[in-house]
Structure 1
Amino acid sequence: MTQPAPTPPAQSAPTQAAAQGLPRTLTRELPRHEGQTVRLQGFLHARRDLGGVQFLVLRDVSGLAQCVGSGLDLPLAESSVEVEGTVKAHPKAPGGFEVQVTAFRVISAATTAPPVEIPKMDWHVNPETMLDYRVVTVRGLKERAALKVQAELVAAFRDHLNTEGFTEISTPKIVSAGAEGGANLFPIEYFGQQAFLAQSPQLYKQIMVGVFERVFEVAAVYRAEEHATSRHLNEYLSLDVELGFIQDEEDVMALENRLLGAIMVRLRERCAAEFTLLGAQIPDVPAHIPRITLMDARRLVSEKYGHAVGGKDLDPEAERLLSQHYAETEGSDFVFVTKYPRAARPFYTHADHNEDGSLNPDLTRGFDLLFRGIEITSGGQRIHDHAMLMDSITSYKLNPASLEGYTEVFKYGMPPHGGFAIGAERLTAKLLGISNVRYARAFPRDRHRLTP
């Protein structure tokens, strides 16, 4: 904090100008009011006494303002306060301006000191403490920046899909069966019956393709997965898309390509300050995001990096290495991994075709999108033929009766369709370089956390 010019003692009550209705000024607006009297309202972010001069930093929704005065009865940090004073240019103050206080009022005093010093919080130190006291630590500038970016990301998602003729829908979050065969579900008691929290709106958004042809949803989904990693949540915000009358999965990937481009444009326009604060860069989205089949991807990371991939999918290290390859060779932070084997995709994923047009029972038209070393999207073309769908359900050893509410619609002329889902928190974390996805949600839920 900087040494100001001497200021007159502050009054303990609002001045006549405030009483006459001096409008509230936000901290970001101070440059427009140099030499004028303003009234700020916000939280006491930091305070310091220096040789009879008092410094306080006020935080409001738009940023920080350094205020200087004397004789102030300052409350505990995070109290809600009001400051009135004259705006003066000061090159070392936040934003280049400070307020010389002439009146100060406590709006609502904190009764307890914050458990951590908000201005000094660091995501890499005591993460559990920061999450345990999330009710107050979420006020931190970095925390707020991450949530602001996510809000704009979601708004851009909605806006772009609206321009492409999509309709927003709302689907049940209490369901009788899982969208992906019943695995990883949270059971609940529902008036004497067993029900579950929805792990995906997948089945419903497919049904709604028969209504609006192009639909999307922004809503929480629930996964009862026993993960305790920096990349998983048990409740997260899913950005779901489904569209009908497609040729194949290429139409779906092309839509997501356009959508991501629009999201990044909005983030550049509205979140430059947040990215600067977090030292992050908004990526360029290629006009045509690179594609590679899963088998070719596994071969590439094995031959180029000596990393052998087991199982049906890419492991986290293989995702990181594949992303590194495309960043280095094509300058792309994004890569689509396509042609997943049937065993690695849900029962409703459409089989791929051979060159002669026959179905390939071993491969699907499913894809993932990797961004900076992590999967942010799973998608593909869905089965739209009723007989093919019933065969798939049987081959996956699922109970057809438990899926009747879903399969019924495919008796009535469903068009070829496909879609994808983006995890909002995971995308936010990777955009901002946040190492733990829990910091990309205001109040995260993981296997150990039900509060706050």
Structure 2
Amino acid sequence: MERTLISELKSGERVKIQGWLHKIRSLSKVSFLVVRDRSGMIQCVVENDKFEIQGIKLESVLEIWGTVVEGKNSIRNIELQVERINTINLVEEELPITINTSKIESNLETQLNNRVLSLRNENNNYIFKVQAMLSQGFAEFLINEGFTQIYTPKLVAEGAEGGTALFKVNYFEKQAYLAQSPQFYKQMMVASGYERVFEIGHVYRAEEHNTSRHINEYVSMDLELCFIEDEQELIKLETRMLKSILSKIEENFRDKFNMLSIQVPEIQQEIPQITLSEAIEILKMKYSRNGLTTDLDPSAEKQICEYAKREFNSEFIFITDYPRSKRPMYTMPKGEFGTRSFDLLFRGVEITTGGQRIHEYSKLIENIKYKGLNPEDFNFYLDAFKYGMPPHGGLAIGLERLTAQLLGINNIREATLFPRDRTRLKP
């Protein structure tokens, strides 16, 4: 008999299920086993005089044959009358964490040290199903918009952000680095005639921070496209993309979100946008914040999002016109000191950085020097600008940050399968 997924069980069928023992409750004559597979849970009714179940610990892997019948229980309106049980793999030790509750009581460090077990918890498990759909929605939208998915190197000779915060790697007789962004390769690919490209891949940042919103390896959802007028085209594209992705999330996770009181944000026709200088003035006037000049710190991002929610009824807000001093060498200048760049803030945290890029070779050389860098270090990248680079731009979204903000998770490590930060390299 072939296996039937628990979500596909129907009353009256004789079936075989396979999964983990989630809970057990024994009475004098019968025992109730709750079995879990990837699709859901089912209560299984066992007659105690026919089966020996005393030695079976929680999370043991079971194979059960039986008949599906109607029944009243807290899980579903059906249950499985057990005819045969096979223990595929018996748990020998006591579990280091309790996972069959709505919320694991162990602290985050303990959960991450026992990541495989912690992910079996239903409410932890769904985080990464949502994350997978965010990534899928990103890809589907862009493919429908004529983008080609690409896969760029993660071992590189130079950093895309000017050579700072890089992890060094011994590469035979040379020194290499882990890529902190696919930026150079995205730009090279739009110049290769693809025009529109995207990548979903890991990037690495060697900043020595240790906060609830930073990790040193994360998944970046990047896109780049050419023949644009300015950064406003990118803002419009991301707005349409987010509407599409969030609609997909709403459709697939409505019941789960309602159960957990999670709200999917609504996006009106446009996401509001203000310049950085306007944001700084608002923070000064509304929140008595002084000393902000060229960027927003984490508390300022939260305050601007509070302002956007109150004034525009939006949980998203674009901040535009960042200064040249705060943007990478490839960012298109706007006037003498500004740039055609933007960040997107969502519920108090920056989730996107993007903007128009410099496409003229001579201007790019000039800006590299302006940033205090040596153009000769970037010859492999600069060559693409000698042979017909069109006007272009792009953006990047941090997948774990987007997941955390959408689900109301306070620490980005909870939205990361196997986090890598200043202290964690295992599991």
2:350 is aligned to 375
Deviation at 1:343, TM superposition (A): 1.1
The within-5 A match list for 1:8-407 is 21=1, 23-30=2-9, 33-71=10-48, 72-74=51-53, 75-120=56-101, 122=103, 125-211=106-192, 212-310=194-292, 312-352=294-334, 360-407=335-382
Number of residue pairs aligned between Structure 1 and Structure 2: 422
Q: Provide, for residues 180-235 of structure 1, a one-character-per-residue CA deviation record: whole Å limited to 9, x for no partner.
A: 00111000100021100000000110110112010000100001111111111111
* Aligned position for 1:15: none
Report the alpha carbon displacement of residue 161 of structure 1 after superposing the two structures with TM: 0.3
The 8 Å contact of residues 146 and 274 in structure 1, kept in 2 or not, is answered as no
Q: What is the letter of the counterpart of residue 287 of structure 1?
A: Q
1:187–1:194 contact (8 Å) kept in structure 2: yes
Paired residues of 2:18 and 2:63 also in contact (CA < 8 A) = yes
Q: Find the residue that maps to 1:259 and give its secondary structure.
A: helix
- Is the 8 Å Cα contact of residues 377 and 420 (structure 1) preserved in structure 2? yes
Cα distance in 1 between the residues matched to 2:285 and 2:348? 18
Residue type of the partner of 2:57? L
Confirm or deny: 8 A CA contact 2:102 2:122 kept in the other structure: no
Q: Structure 1 residues 120 and 93, CA, compared in 2 at 3 Å: closer, same or farther?
A: closer
What per-residue deviation string (whole Å, max 9, x for no partner) do you get for residues 123-163 of structure 1? 67411000011122122112210000011111111111001
Distance in 1 (alpha carbons) for counterparts of 2:105 and 2:343: 29
Deviation at 1:84, TM superposition (A): 2.2
Deviations 1:377-434 (A, max 9, x none): 0000001111110011101111211111111111112111000000001000111111
Distance 1:262 1:59 in 2: 32
Asked if structure 2 preserves the Cα contact closer than 8 Å seen for 1:309 and 1:315, the reply is no
Q: Note the C-alpha offset of 1:333.
A: 1.1
Q: Deviations over 1:26-84 (max 9, x none)?
A: 22223xx1233222211111222233421211111111112221334332221211122
Looking at structure 2, the residues matched to 277 and 51 of structure 1 have their Cα atoms a distance apart, in angstroms, of 34
Q: Does the 8 A contact of 1:80 with 1:107 survive in 2?
A: yes
Residue 339 of structure 2 aligns with an amino acid whose one-letter code is T
Q: Deviation of residue 311 (structure 1)?
A: 5.2
SS at match of 2:79: strand
Partner-residue secondary structure (3-state), 1:407: helix
User: Partner of 1:261: helix, strand, or coil?
Assistant: helix
Amino acid in the other structure paired with 1:178:
G
- Letter of the 1:253 counterpart: I
* Partner SS for 1:102: strand
Q: Does the residue aligned with 2:76 lie in a helix, a strand or coil?
A: helix
Greater Cα shift, 296-305 or 389-398: 296-305
1:24, distance to aligned residue in structure 2 (A)? 2.3
Deviation at 1:276? 3.7
Structure 1 pair 259/309, CA: closer, same or farther in 2 (3 Å)?
farther
SS in 2 for 1:120: coil
Q: 1:367 to 1:128 in 2, by over 3 A?
A: same
- The residue identity in structure 2 corresponding to 1:344 is K
CA contact (8 A) 1:79 1:109 kept: yes
What are the ranges of 5 or more consecutive residues in structure 2 without an aligned counterpart? none
Aligned in 2, Cα 1:91/1:287: closer, same or farther, shift over 3 Å?
A: farther
Q: Greater CA deviation, 130-139 or 365-374?
A: 130-139
**5+ residue gaps in structure 1?**
1-20, 353-359
CA distance in 2: counterparts of 1:325 and 1:124, whole angstroms? 35
CA displacement, residues 276-317 of structure 1 (integer Å, 9 cap, x when unaligned): 454312111222110100110111122112233535211111
> Match of 1:95, SS?
coil
TM-score, normalization by structure 1: 0.90
Letter in 1 for 2:182: P
- Indicate the SS of the match to 1:115: coil
Specify the code of the residue in structure 2 equivalent to 1:364: T
Q: For the residues of structure 1 that align with 2:284 and 2:411, how far apart are their CA atoms? A: 28
Distance 2:263 2:395 in 1: 25
2 CA distance for matches of 1:285 and 1:206? Answer: 29
Correspondence for 2:389: 414
RMSD over aligned CA atoms reads 1.6
TM-score between both structures, scaled by the size of structure 2: 0.95
Contact 2:204 2:218 in 1 (8 A): yes
Matched position secondary structure for 2:294: coil
For residues 78-122 of structure 1, give each alpha carbon's deviation from its aligned partner in whole angstroms, at most 9, with x where no partner exists: 121112223233343313322222221111222323210111373
The answer (yes or no) to whether the contact 1:268–1:282 under 8 Å persists in 2 is yes
* Counterparts in 2 of 1:124 and 1:106: CA distance versus 1, 3 Å: closer
- Greater Cα shift, 297-306 or 70-79: 70-79
Amino acid paired to 1:108: N
Q: Does 1:432 align with 2:407?
A: yes
Structure 1 residues 167 and 297 mapped into 2: Cα distance closer, same or farther (>3 Å)? same
Q: Give, in whole Å, the separation in 2 of the partners of 1:175 and 1:90.
A: 60
8 Å CA contact retained: 1:178, 1:198: yes
8 Å Cα contact 2:280-2:293 kept in structure 1 = no
